[in-house]
Amino acid sequence: MTFIKNDFSPRRAINTNRRGLLKGMAAVAAGGSLAATAPPREAKAFAYEPYPTDDQLETVVTSCAHNCGSRHALIAHKKGDVIVRLSTDDGRYQEGGFFGKDTEEEPQVRACLRGRSYRARLYSPERLLYPMKRVGRRGESKFRRISWDQALTEISQRMVYLKQKYGPMALVDQSYAGASYGVLHKSDQIEGLLGRFLGMFGCRTSSWSVPSYQGTTFSSRITFGTIEDGNEDDAFAHSKLIIMWGWNPAYTFHGGNTFYYMRLAKQRGCKFVLVDPQYTDSASTYDAWWIPIRPNTDAAMLAGMAHYIFANNLQDQNFINRFVQGMDPGTMPQWAFGQESFRDYIMGVSDGQPKTPEWAAKICGVKAEDIVKLADMYARTKPAALKASWSPGRNAYGEQYNRMAAAVQAMTGNIGVLGGCAEGVGKAWHAEAVAYPYDQFANVWFASIKSDRWAHCVLNYPNVRREEIGLWPRQDQLDGVIPNIRGIFWQGSDWLNQLTNINKEIAAIRHLDAQGESESLLVCMDSTITPTGIWADYLLPIATHFERHDVALPWYKGHYYIHRPKVIEPLGESKTDFQVFTELAWRLGFGQQYNPRASRDYFNNPDAVDEAYLEAWWRNVQSHQHVTMSWADFKKRGIYKFKLDRPHVAFRDQVERGVPFQTPSGRIEIFSTVLAQTRDFSRTQYGYPIPAIPKWIEPWESLNSPKTAQFPFHMVTPHPRWRTHSIFNNIPWLRETFSQELTMNASDAKKLDIKTGDVVEVWNDRGKCIVPAYVTERCMPGVVALHEGAWMDVDANGVDRSGNPDFLTLDEPSPAGAFAYNTILCNVRKTTLDHRPGWDELATARSHVFRRDL
Amino acid sequence: MIRFGRLDRSWAGAALALLLAMAAGAGATRAIAQTAAGDPAAGAKAIAELGAVLARAANSDYERAKWDPIHFKPAIDHARDEACLVCHKEVLETKPRPVSPAGVKAEQTEAWYQTLDTYAGAQENFHWRHIASPYAKQVMNLSCNFCHQGNDPREEAPQDLIGKAATTTAWPRNAPVFTLRKMVNPSETCLRCHGAFPAESMGLPPKWEETREGLESPDTPNGCLTCHAEQFRTVRHHVTYLNAKGIEDAAKDSSDACYGCHGGRSWYRISYPYPRHPWPDMPADLPDWAKDRPKTSDARFALPIPAK
Amino acid sequence: MANQIDKARIKEAAAKKKRETYTPVVPEVQLGFIHHNVDCIGCRACEIACKDKNGLPPGPRFRRVQYIEGGTFPEVYAYKVNMSCNHCAEPACLPACPTGAIWKRPKDGIVDIDSTLCIGCRRCEATCPFGAPQFIPEQNVVAKCNMCVDEIDAGRKPYCVMACMMRVLDIGPIDKIADGTYQTKARGPNDQVVRQVRDMADPELTKPSIVFVAHSKGAVK
């Protein structure tokens, strides 16, 4: 299977009729006499080339779909059943809208570069159009086309066989948000369509830890009792100080208009600070004070700040006394009186080590005076937003960083006030999110493991202890039973490429291979071929969001809904996930229960049923969210933007009106009731102890560990802006603007005789990848950065030529489940091995002798 | 296995005498490493040598080729055209389309240079006309690195190019060697010949294309020589990138030899601030427009002093 | 006889005309771009929107957001310069074109190439000081930004401007943008605009219709 065609050109792919029309026009043009510099008599745009203007095309409002944390409008301009181009929100499509309307209360929701490239993905050569069955070895990329009937028959038969032979935990649910984030067609790790399907079938091992932000989720839940600890994006415009802790909204966007509201804040005098090993574009845009920090030492620096604040009595003691549990001895719960409070820990009362800025400086590499300066600035500027992002949480003990940040946010009283920030996860406005059937089967599982431990489980079964795989406790006889994993469903998920330690995952698949062809099952459901799909037994072509009816919602920040009609008919034989699961459920005997509004004809005609689900959902929107617009009006307009009375700020009700926090104590729990009362962590999903208060815990590898003798660089693996994880890696428009490359500091590079553009190998004892270097002063010495999500391309020796950092990551999650994506020591050297960027890079060669198609 | 497109090396192979390359291969690379350790200029020169370029091209892929040190200072200063053409020979070979997509025939259109006496023939590509055409050979002596003083695949700001210290020193006024979005710095390359004609500096009416007619006859085909044959003589053409003698000879027969660069279809609305070489009996008081100008051509274009 | 003289005279006049230098069109209004070099996050949504609008393959990039960075760790800086065609007041590309495929609209000063009339001689590409004309090797023609004339004629703004998530890119009458009388979000309340930034070709060459809010390190002089 060829991933990349050399001659990809949307113009060719889509407007194939244009060339023909051109020829027809040739005679007309040639007739005119064209003197040297005299323009044609009536110089007119598109005089010779037929070119449909937007107003001559059919306009359909829709949105982007992939789960990057934002959601923006896309306007499809189509002719017949072909999307000719995409534009985005220009203010026209909401109620009372007009071209150019773009106010602070109701801003346009403009799509990012990824969203704008969707047409290239929709019509890409990598689209899956037919069900495919593997004919070669797993991972060998050999497939043949089969019918839907054959695919679903064989899959359902294998499912029944595996369930009967290996039990109700044989199939792992690895659904993720790659195919969809809509209210109806939802691929979701925990409660999506796949989870419900496998749960009803009675054979499901769930994957509970979320790769992006499990450490942060844990912190938010433990501290505030909810992950809805976020402000809406417009609240950022009201801060006087924004500390971007490992946060790069210039790359991740993170909400409808977060980045733009921060620009408004800057215009209003807000100061910005970036704590990050890299001087990111967010730092330059917001003119931030850059504090380079050693990766995975954030909790220590925050502890140093807390020390300064306590030592100088700069904390908001009134806020602490009213709202916080365990910040200091005076706020400890009665039942834990005398146990170690956060202040005891910070001041060294309990362990004899005050967590002074000087102590922190030795760990995190930030000068003590800078820690002091930042702490002072944060404590004295009101309101100030310390945005503790997810990325530093994707670390060994990443949850401790997020909890420490929450403690610092709480001690300065920046919670529940406009311009402050309690994030954390940062999920803000509560949307009406579910249109698909949601009932007691929404999340049925028979085992649930830490998501990146499946390979470990497969390779070591049955000699696996429950804490090794983070087995979630149950109240029945299945508690503690190690799953005998025999299959994986990848729904909108590229997890083989995206989880940690890919070499170990490949070994696990080989281990399954060795048990015999019929003893396991790997199914990949996606709209394009993916690096994960290469390893599947069956590839099921899934309709994109342009090809099915749905409603989009921002799940992170932004308060609007975007109608997503079926813009075009599904390409090839693609079907929606919901159609596939419904049909499989019919074959397995629970079709009616799985999709109660549908008959078996749903596989062929889903439109009326989808409409009914969505209309019912809109009735919920109307009643729960006080919306008076009719469903028909919403469909006609395309976007519904909520106008909030005032910017949504998390925990405003708690702080202003005394509503209890959703924690056991009703207070912000810096001292966690749940953790303090847990006696045996090996019986919990965490497996290993977690302290009741946030603490600095030395990670298993960092620039401070002895392993640096062998592997002197710490690698971080941030989210790229030209992909959503691995999605869009195949889009030439995006690839030509950004390269997969290893960012490294100039002084480090000089020592290794590496210049920008040199191909280097990056390796540690887990794996190796090949990638060009980008040498810059914008990265701190000792740190290298490699963006996650490159499509793996493994050579015969197990070396990845695409530059995928997950060949080097460790599949050992933090106790709370945080993926250790940023806890990587490695080494770097110039290499003669070849990097393969995975697309036809030569198509953009300025010198066209390099272009082989000419 | 996954195939990510054809990433073979045929692009290089076609351009090469492979046997030569292999023979030169390992040895050349080693030699470069040794010289580079000592004298940087010698190292840069070695990198730009034809044999070394051939060797690297044979053992490179596109990813490596585009970052080859010959594209950067200081090696590019030593690059001879043959070395550039190992990979970039298409710059001399490509042709305009005979017919535009809508049917405009190239032969029925006339490029401005075709209206001049100094050019005969069909429309040709820009590089060929500047380097390889008969007229270019007669009056110019342009090499690739006259215009191309560096190229960053990122195409960003030259100051931040690798080895950035070397990128600005060779130019007057510390100008960048290429500009944003442009592979060259037009003010220091194109403008030397394609600037506006400052007729007013010479006290002439602004429309030189009309003025010249009154100065030309079959006996004196070049109106420029009315003044510039004897009265005003400069040595501006005595630079490495021009063939001064060829220009003088051509000027005798046709004013287009002058007009092609001075006063014709200028690309730009300003003119190049040429150096003002002193000539015998040059008036002591300089006109305003000439006041800040240098008195000699750029050192990098200086010709060896001819033996008397 | 008289006819012959006339013909000869006309031919001569035409030849003379052709050899003349070019007199630029002076438009009723000159539209131009403004870009905020600092507040731009460099996401390149404008570039991709442009690619999609114009159906471009990989290779030609009508618009380009350039990443400029410098300094020495930890005192570093970065900014972006975003340029497409600058629709110059006195474009160099136009008189270079042998087929008349390039023209400047008297109404708004937009410089457009009708690529269907292009024979791919690439002279416009050579003359442009700002790298705007883009060669498309597959077709052997040159194409470039036309400021989305179809959108302008429809009373809207180009795709790149409407794509800008940070609202740092805009168009308008360039003289009004330059003197600050044109309302635009691209320019912040305290920002000044400049015609040239560091490493940009001299604007005097062609008088490009673009201004920038420059980074302090990107200021010229």
User: Which chain A residues in 516-535 lie under 8 Å from chain B, judged by CB atoms?
Assistant: 531, 534
| Smallest CA–CA distance from B84 into chain A, residue | A847
The radius of gyration of chain A from alpha carbons, rounded to an integer in Å, stands at 27
Region A581-607: mean pLDDT is: 97
Give percent above pLDDT 90 in chain A.
87
Instruction: Check residue B276 and give its pLDDT.
Output: 82
- The H-or-E segment that residue A160 falls in is helix A148-166
**Which candidate, A831, A853, A814, places its Cα nearest to that of A686?**
A814
Q: What is the pLDDT of residues A258-272, one digit of tens each?
A: 999 999 999 999 999
Spell out a b/e string for A468-500, using b for 16 or more CB atoms within 10 Å of the CB, else e. Answer: bbbbbeeeeeeeebbbbbbbbbbbbbbbbbbbb
Determine whether the interchain pair B112/C90 forms a contact, defined as Cβ–Cβ distance below 8 Å.
no
**CA A681/CA A672 separation, integer angstroms:** 14
Q: Three-class SS of residue A351?
A: coil
Residue with tokens 């540690």: A764
Q: Which two tokens stand for residue B266?
A: 């200028």
For residues A534 and A141, is the Cβ–Cβ distance under 8 A? yes
Check if A842 contacts B (Cβ < 8 Å): yes
Instruction: Check residue C17 and give its pLDDT.
Output: 65
A116: nearest CB among C14, C48, C56: C48
Cross-strand bridge partners of residue A447: A205
**Which candidate, A590, A517, A703, A584, places its Cα nearest to that of A200?**
A590
Instruction: Check residue A66 and give its pLDDT.
Output: 85
Q: What is the dihedral of CA A609, A612, A618, A624, to 10 degrees?
A: -110
Region A534-546: mean pLDDT is: 97
Q: Assess whether pLDDT exceeds 90 at residue A543.
A: yes
Determine whether the interchain pair C202/B186 forms a contact, defined as Cβ–Cβ distance below 8 Å.
yes
Q: Interface of chain B against chain A, CB under 8 Å? A: 1-7, 10-11, 15, 61-67, 87-91, 94, 99-105, 108-112, 115, 153-154, 162, 183
Confidence category of residue B216, pLDDT binned at 50, 70, 90: confident
Q: What is the pLDDT of residues A712-727, one digit of tens each?
A: 999 999 999 999 999 9
Residue C133 lies in a domain: no
Instruction: Check residue B141 and give its pLDDT.
Output: 95
For residues A200 and A521, is the Cβ–Cβ distance under 8 A? no
Q: Assess whether pLDDT exceeds 90 at residue B286.
A: no
Q: Assess whether pLDDT exceeds 80 at residue C83.
A: yes
Q: What angle do CA C131, C132, C133 make, to 5 degrees?
A: 105
Check if C194 contacts B (Cβ < 8 Å): no
Instruction: Check residue B165 and give its pLDDT.
Output: 53
CATH architecture of A717-844: Beta Barrel (2.40)
Confidence category of residue B43, pLDDT binned at 50, 70, 90: confident
Q: What angle do CA B175, B180, B183 make, to 5 degrees?
A: 80
Instruction: Check residue B21 and give its pLDDT.
Output: 36
Confidence category of residue A524, pLDDT binned at 50, 70, 90: very high
Spell out a b/e string for C181-215, using b for 16 or more CB atoms within 10 Å of the CB, else e. Answer: ebebbbbbeebebbbbbbbbbbbbbbbbbbbbbbb
Which domain, by its residues, includes C173?
31-93+146-216
Determine whether the interchain pair C199/B99 forms a contact, defined as Cβ–Cβ distance below 8 Å.
no
Region A349-354: mean pLDDT is: 96
**CA C221/CA C206 separation, integer angstroms:** 20
Instruction: Check residue C52 and give its pLDDT.
Output: 96
Q: Which two tokens stand for residue C2?
A: 């008289």
Instruction: Check residue A35 and give its pLDDT.
Output: 38
Q: Are strands C141-143 and C134-136 parallel, antiparallel or unpaired?
A: antiparallel
Determine whether the interchain pair A4/B1 forms a contact, defined as Cβ–Cβ distance below 8 Å.
no
* Position with higher pLDDT, B298 vs B251: B251
A111: nearest CB among C45, C69, C189: C45
* Position with higher pLDDT, C21 vs A667: A667
Instruction: For residue B99, count other CB atoms closer than 10 A to its CB.
Output: 16
Q: Assess whether pLDDT exceeds 70 at residue A710.
A: yes
Q: Assess whether pLDDT exceeds 80 at residue A9.
A: no
Q: Assess whether pLDDT exceeds 90 at residue A403.
A: yes
Cross-strand bridge partners of residue A207: A449
DSSP state of A55: G
Q: Assess whether pLDDT exceeds 60 at residue B147.
A: yes
Chain B hits for A531, CB-CB cut-off 8 Å, are 2
Q: Assess whether pLDDT exceeds 90 at residue A229.
A: yes
* Position with higher pLDDT, A538 vs A32: A538
**CA B71/CA B178 separation, integer angstroms:** 12
Region A455-464: mean pLDDT is: 97
Q: Assess whether pLDDT exceeds 80 at residue A169.
A: yes
What subunits make at least 3 CB pairs under 8 angstroms with A? B, C
Q: Tell me how many helices (H) and strands (E) chain B has.
A: 15, 0
**Range of weakest confidence among A850-854, B49-53, C119-123, C188-192:** A850-854
DSSP state of C89: S
Instruction: Check residue C220 and give its pLDDT.
Output: 85
Confidence category of residue A848, pLDDT binned at 50, 70, 90: low
Chain C hits for A292, CB-CB cut-off 8 Å, are 73-74
Q: Three-class SS of residue A844?
A: helix
Residue with tokens 């330690």: A501
Q: What angle do CA A790, A791, A793 make, to 5 degrees?
A: 115
Q: Which two tokens stand for residue A24?
A: 């027809």
Q: What is the pLDDT of residues A789-827, one digit of tens each?
A: 999 999 999 999 999 999 999 999 999 999 999 999 999
Instruction: Check residue A295 and give its pLDDT.
Output: 98
CA distances from A444 to A152, A169, A438, C9 (A): 22, 11, 12, 93
Say yes or no: domain A231-424+653-683 is CATH 3.40.228.10.
yes
For residues A387 and A286, is the Cβ–Cβ distance under 8 A? no
For A304-316, the three-class secondary structure string (H helix, E strand, C coil) is: HHHHHHHHCCCCC
**CA B186/CA B191 separation, integer angstroms:** 6
Sequence spans of domains, chain B: 11-91, 109-148+184-308
Give percent above pLDDT 70 in chain A.
93
Phi, psi angles (nearest 5°) of residue A207: -110, 110
Q: Assess whether pLDDT exceeds 90 at residue B64.
A: no
Chain C hits for A110, CB-CB cut-off 8 Å, are 45, 162-165
Determine whether the interchain pair A110/C57 forms a contact, defined as Cβ–Cβ distance below 8 Å.
no
Residue C151 lies in a domain: yes
Region A339-367: mean pLDDT is: 97
Q: Assess whether pLDDT exceeds 50 at residue A423.
A: yes
Q: Which fold has domain A132-211+432-545+573-622?
A: Rossmann fold (3.40.50)
CATH number reported for the structural domain that contains residue C37 in this entry: 3.30.70.20
Query: In residues, how long is chain A?
Result: 854
Phi, psi angles (nearest 5°) of residue A18: -65, -40
- Rounded to 5, what percent of chain C is helix, strand, coil? 30, 20, 50
Which pTM was predicted? 0.92
Instruction: Check residue B20 and give its pLDDT.
Output: 36
Q: Three-class SS of residue A732?
A: helix
Q: Assess whether pLDDT exceeds 90 at residue A760.
A: yes
**CA A725/CA A834 separation, integer angstroms:** 23
Q: Assess whether pLDDT exceeds 60 at residue B242.
A: yes
Q: Where are the CATH 3.40.50.740 domain residues in chain A? A: 132-211+432-545+573-622
Check if C99 contacts A (Cβ < 8 Å): yes
Confidence category of residue A831, pLDDT binned at 50, 70, 90: very high
Confidence category of residue B37, pLDDT binned at 50, 70, 90: low
**Range of weakest confidence among A273-282, A633-642, B228-237:** B228-237
Confidence category of residue A27, pLDDT binned at 50, 70, 90: very low
CA atoms within 13 A on the CB side of B270: 15
Confidence category of residue B35, pLDDT binned at 50, 70, 90: very low
ipTM, 2 dp: 0.94
For C175-220, the three-class secondary structure string (H helix, E strand, C coil) is: HHHHHCCCCCCCCCCCCCCECCCCCCCCHHHCCCCEEEECCHHHCC
Chain centre distance of CA B212: 28
**CA A113/CA B230 separation, integer angstroms:** 63
Chain C hits for A278, CB-CB cut-off 8 Å, are none
Determine whether the interchain pair C100/A36 forms a contact, defined as Cβ–Cβ distance below 8 Å.
yes
Average pLDDT, chain B: 79
Q: What is the pLDDT of residues C159-218, one digit of tens each?
A: 999 999 999 999 999 999 999 999 999 999 999 999 999 989 999 999 999 999 999 999
Q: Are strands A550-552 and A560-564 parallel, antiparallel or unpaired?
A: antiparallel
- Rounded to 5, what percent of chain B is helix, strand, coil? 45, 5, 50
User: Which chain C residues in 131-150 lie under 8 Å from chain B, judged by CB atoms?
Assistant: 131-132, 139-141
Determine whether the interchain pair A840/B5 forms a contact, defined as Cβ–Cβ distance below 8 Å.
yes
Q: What is the pLDDT of residues B152-197, one digit of tens each?
A: 887 677 666 655 554 454 555 667 888 889 989 999 999 999 998 8
Which residue of B32, B63, B70, B115 to mutate against A (max A Cβ within 10 Å)?
B63
**CA B212/CA B224 separation, integer angstroms:** 7
Contact residues for A325 (Cβ-Cβ < 8 A; gap 6+): A331, A332, A333, A663, A665, A667, A668, A669, A670, A671, A673
Confidence category of residue A160, pLDDT binned at 50, 70, 90: very high
Check if C144 contacts A (Cβ < 8 Å): no
Determine whether the interchain pair B265/C21 forms a contact, defined as Cβ–Cβ distance below 8 Å.
yes
Instruction: Check residue B215 and give its pLDDT.
Output: 84
**Range of weakest confidence among A294-303, A400-409, B150-159:** B150-159
Average pLDDT, chain A: 92
For residues A200 and A443, is the Cβ–Cβ distance under 8 A? no
Check if C175 contacts B (Cβ < 8 Å): no
Average pLDDT, chain C: 92
Residue with tokens 């990510």: B4
Chain A hits for C51, CB-CB cut-off 8 Å, are 10, 117, 733
